[in-house]
């Protein structure tokens, strides 16, 4: 998968300085003669808002610190070599962002990730909303409307890692996105045209690489008062890869492990067609979610033409022991922030919110003469929400690897994440 990076150049210091200046300037503005012009408040993030709602600014970020412990059996030792280490730690994400609305209709967001010792551009877009018929337009580096699990923010995903591998298609890309909701949000449509960005968020030599991605979804049931939700969606992506080379490689459900299965580089790829079916059901503290993704990779050369088919699917279930539920924001953002009924040691002797979850994932990278392998993951998860901005996640992952050309075996992973976001 192609990663988007930007040069560091003391990026973190610069962003902190800019955010501090903006907060200070707007605070001073609010203290002028017209003291009712702006409202500055904390709402799981610093928010500045004019009383007529014409201007809105939000500053925030997230820190996710992961620790993991691994063990693999003799089968994987023989097929892939022994593990270099049986444990590891990393900052999975360390991000800062600023977003806002200007003059009611113009929106923007800038988000940068500093994890891994490099600065990576995440969201960076400008948009216009409330457009008749069209709804909303965003231009810049944005999420493609593909895969329910990928559209859910990493702040709110149930497990430490998403079910569908990002290598099957970029999560974010440079492009233009149109989206709108109809019939009181019962029907939602998003469609966009994208280019693959380089490490600076640009594509200065754009040639053949292009992706057309569309998604349609429906909220058959959406009753926030009764905490009921039933969602279905379908998305399609037509892609022409850069340099006519395509590769899918997948790691077990821990970012600290190596990748065991891979298609290798597939040359002479003319097009890639991806379909994705998604569904989610929520009733009070209970949530059920699942997706199927199929990727058809067409290889064309002077002497032959053939299509490889790869797939991934998962199903997951979660339940809040303490009675909370998973709120739904909208079709494009999907699930949002969980707010515990009682915060940990917040004057009411609360213990926070506790959630248990189970997921099964299967990826198949075998097709015709490509024997990339199959991988099945069973993940048990426990999430402890200390409050609405902090949680601790525990995942135990059992992975079965079957690669015809090398062998098969099992990998066991125990991992924990300390997370705060605002």
Cβ within 8 Å of residue 275, ≥6 positions away: 234, 235, 236, 293, 294
CA–CA dist 68, 414 (Å, integer): 6
At residue 157, the pLDDT reads: 97
385-421 as b/e, with b when 16 or more CB fall inside 10 Å?
bbbbbbbebebebebbbbbeebbbbebebbbbbebeb
CA–CA dist 396, 381 (Å, integer): 7
Q: pLDDT tens digit string along 244-275?
A: 778 899 999 999 999 999 999 999 999 999 99
Quick one: DSSP state of residue 149? H
The residues that bridge with 381 in the sheet, in sequence order, are 357, 395
Q: Would you say 393 and 356 are in contact if contact means Cβ atoms under 8 Å apart?
A: no
Pairing of strands 353-367, 370-385: antiparallel
Q: Which two tokens stand for residue 84?
A: 């270099």
pTM over 0.75: yes
Q: Is 150 inside any structural domain? A: yes
CATH number at residue 361: 2.40.160.10
> Hey, how many other C-beta atoms are within 10 angstroms of the C-beta on 319?
15
Q: Residue for token digits 């979660």? A: 318
Q: What are the C-alpha distances in Å from 204 to residues 166, 209, 253?
A: 24, 12, 34
> Hey, how many other C-beta atoms are within 10 angstroms of the C-beta on 188?
22
Q: Is 5 inside any structural domain? A: no
At residue 117, the pLDDT reads: 82
Q: Is 124 inside any structural domain? A: yes
At residue 20, the pLDDT reads: 57
Cβ within 8 Å of residue 347, ≥6 positions away: none
Q: How many domains does the chain have?
A: 1
CA–CA dist 8, 120 (Å, integer): 9
Q: Would you say 399 and 414 are in contact if contact means Cβ atoms under 8 Å apart?
A: no
Quick one: DSSP state of residue 266? B
The residues that bridge with 329 in the sheet, in sequence order, are none
Residue ranges, the chain, pLDDT below 70: 1-36, 197-208
At residue 381, the pLDDT reads: 98
> Hey, how many other C-beta atoms are within 10 angstroms of the C-beta on 84?
7
Q: Residue for token digits 């099957």? A: 168
At residue 22, the pLDDT reads: 59
At residue 40, the pLDDT reads: 85
CA–CA dist 241, 208 (Å, integer): 7
Handedness of CA 324, 392, 41, 139 (dihedral sign): negative
Across 304-352, the runs of DSSP E, i.e. the strands, are 305-320, 328-330, 334-335
CA–CA dist 6, 15 (Å, integer): 13
CA–CA dist 130, 136 (Å, integer): 6
Q: pLDDT tens digit string along 352-402?
A: 999 999 999 999 999 999 999 999 999 999 999 999 999 999 999 999 999
Q: Is 1 inside any structural domain? A: no
Domain that holds residue 70: 11-421
- List phi, psi (to 5°) of 284: 60, -130
Q: Would you say 177 and 213 are in contact if contact means Cβ atoms under 8 Å apart?
A: no
Q: Is 200 inside any structural domain? A: yes
Q: Is 183 inside any structural domain? A: yes
SS3 of residue 141 by DSSP: strand
């Amino acid at each position: 998968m192609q990663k988007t990076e930007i040069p560091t150049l003391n990026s973190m210091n610069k962003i902190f300085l800019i955010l501090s200046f903006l907060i200070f300037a707007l605070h001073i503005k609010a203290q002028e003669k017209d003291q009712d012009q702006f409202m500055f408040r904390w709402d799981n993030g610093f928010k500045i808002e004019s009383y007529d709602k014409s201007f809105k600014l939000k500053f925030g970020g997230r820190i996710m610190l992961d620790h993991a412990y691994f063990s693999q059996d003799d089968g994987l030792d023989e097929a892939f070599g022994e593990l270099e280490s049986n444990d590891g730690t990393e900052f999975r994400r360390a991000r800062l962002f600023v977003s806002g609305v200007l003059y009611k209709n113009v929106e923007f967001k800038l988000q940068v990730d500093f994890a891994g010792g490099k600065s990576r551009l995440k969201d960076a877009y400008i948009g216009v909303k409330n457009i008749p018929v069209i709804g909303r337009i965003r231009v810049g580096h944005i999420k493609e409307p593909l895969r329910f699990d990928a559209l859910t923010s990493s702040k709110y995903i149930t497990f430490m890692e998403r079910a569908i591998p990002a290598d099957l298609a970029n999560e974010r890309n440079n492009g233009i996105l149109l989206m709108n909701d109809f019939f009181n949000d019962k029907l939602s449509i998003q469609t966009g045209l994208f280019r693959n960005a380089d490490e600076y968020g640009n594509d200065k030599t754009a040639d053949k690489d292009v992706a057309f991605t569309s998604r349609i979804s429906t909220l058959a049931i959406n009753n926030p008062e009764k905490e009921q939700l039933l969602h279905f969606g379908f998305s399609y992506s037509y892609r022409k890869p850069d340099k006519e080379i395509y590769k899918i490689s997948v790691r077990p459900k821990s970012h600290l492990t190596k990748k065991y299965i891979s298609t290798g580089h597939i040359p002479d790829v003319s097009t890639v067609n991806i379909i994705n079916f998604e569904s989610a059901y929520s009733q009070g503290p209970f949530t059920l979610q699942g997706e199927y993704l199929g990727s058809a990779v067409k290889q064309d050369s002077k002497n032959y033409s053939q299509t490889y088919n790869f797939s991934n699917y998962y199903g997951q279930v979660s339940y809040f022991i303490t009675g909370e539920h998973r709120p739904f924001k909208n079709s494009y953002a999907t699930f949002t922030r969980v707010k515990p009924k009682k915060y940990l040691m917040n004057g009411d002797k609360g213990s926070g919110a506790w959630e248990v979850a189970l997921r099964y994932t299967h990826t198949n990278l075998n097709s015709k003469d490509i024997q990339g392998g199959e991988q099945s993951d069973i993940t048990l998860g426990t999430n402890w929400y200390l409050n609405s901005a902090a949680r601790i996640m525990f995942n135990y992952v059992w992975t079965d690897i079957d690669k015809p050309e090398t062998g098969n075996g099992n990998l066991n992973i125990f991992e924990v994440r300390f997370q705060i976001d605002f």
